[in-house]
Amino acid sequence: MNPLARTFGFQSVDEAERERRIRRVFAAVAARYDLMNDLMSLGIHRLWKRRLVRMAAPAPGQVIVDLAGGTGDVAARLAAPDRLVAVCDPSVPMMRAGRARADARLAQVHWLAGTGERLPLADASVDTLTIAFGIRNVTRIEQALAEALRVLKPGGRFLCLEFSTPHALVRPFYNLFSFTVIPRLGAWVARAPEAYTYLVESIRRFPDQQAFGALVAQAGFADVMHRNLSFGIACIHVGTKRRAASATTMHGVSATSP
């Protein structure tokens, strides 16, 4: 068994079936996904995403990709006429729902079909890569992190907003809400209780802040850090692609400079 598959509770032989299941989940909830996010988080997910965008600090001339960007709510916040912003997501129904929204900012967003494990992007072509509540749904997280590193330019940044392990004081209440209220909301609003049962289970299986940060560092990112949100219910992880060192020789001594 793949060590990462063991970490997430999935066997590698089931990866193809898991990928098909994830596609079915998001196809089922696409039309009401944004509404469900508001209900599940009491609207707080919007504040978390604003923090993600502030930390991403989009700038003129940049190429920014929001991986697993779904309906484009993060991409809309990143978009502006002076930069290229794209959503990359494996779920065409999710992206179709986003493109149908009456949001002028989304008119500036490009849409790409692709998975985190095989990004349809050239090496060193992206300044900033964000992913919000999507990394836990990739089939092979190690490969997805390697792909993120591949497509980023030297000095480029990876920012991942994801559910995490809450502080012990709020954990019992959070677990009660997650395992009882969310699936019922899924049945009532999205008419997809199985989909939201899966989403809750995927949150429960996801590694805590330190364990995921270690995976980001092992993938080759530098300056890895995380910032807890709402007592650790969610967390933003950040990593930077190292700049190539250049060798110089002074007085017969070889040195490296960033």
Distance CA 80, CA 101 (A): 17
pLDDT of residue 225: 98
Residue 248 located in a structural domain = no
Please say if the pLDDT value at position 258 is more than 80: no
Task: Tell me whether strands 246-250 and 234-240 are parallel, antiparallel or unpaired.
Answer: unpaired
Query: Cα 37 from chain centroid?
Result: 15
Torsions phi, psi for 13 (to 5 deg): -65, -20
Residue 255 located in a structural domain = no
Which residue, 207, 184, 206, is CA-closest to 195? 184
Segments forming the whole domain that contains residue 46: 3-240
pLDDT of residue 1: 33
Query: In total, how many domains does the chain have?
Result: 1
pLDDT of residue 97: 87
Q: What is the average pLDDT value for the chain, to the nearest integer?
A: 82
Alpha helices in the chain (DSSP H): 3-8, 15-29, 33-41, 44-56, 73-78, 92-99, 141-151, 171-176, 182-185, 193-205, 209-218
pLDDT 10s digits, 34-86: 766 777 777 899 999 999 999 999 999 999 999 999 899 999 999 999 999 99
Please say if the pLDDT value at position 158 is more than 90: yes
**Whether the predicted model's global pTM rises above the 0.85 cut:** no
Residue 175 located in a structural domain = yes
Residue 252 located in a structural domain = no
Residue 17 located in a structural domain = yes
Distance CA 66, CA 128 (A): 8
Domain with 183 in it: what CATH number? 3.40.50.150
Residue 104 located in a structural domain = yes
Residue 231 located in a structural domain = yes
pLDDT of residue 9: 31
Residue 139 located in a structural domain = yes
pLDDT 10s digits, 172-226: 998 888 777 777 766 666 565 666 676 777 788 899 999 999 999 999 999 999 9
In this prediction, residues 147-161 reach a mean pLDDT of 98
